Amino acid sequence: MNLKKILTLLGVALVVFFIVTQPAGAAGSIQNIGNILYNAAQSVTTFFTQLF
């Protein structure tokens, strides 16, 4: 196995462990990531709306 595959598997294992041991914290993290992406998309949309 190459290093990239090992690191990917370790990352997935860490995420699964986090979800199993702290489901509320994991849900909050996902919600925060979603909010960040939503705000970024809104900012880009506002920029292009104001540009044209």
pLDDT digits (tens, 9 = 90+) for 10-43: 999 999 999 999 999 999 999 999 999 999 999 9
pLDDT digits (tens, 9 = 90+) for 1-16: 799 999 999 999 999 9
pLDDT at position 6: 96
**Are 1 and 8 a contacting pair, CB within 8 Å?**
no
pTM of the model: 0.67
Instruction: Name the amino acid, one letter, at 34.
Output: G
Report residue 32 as tokens.
């925060």
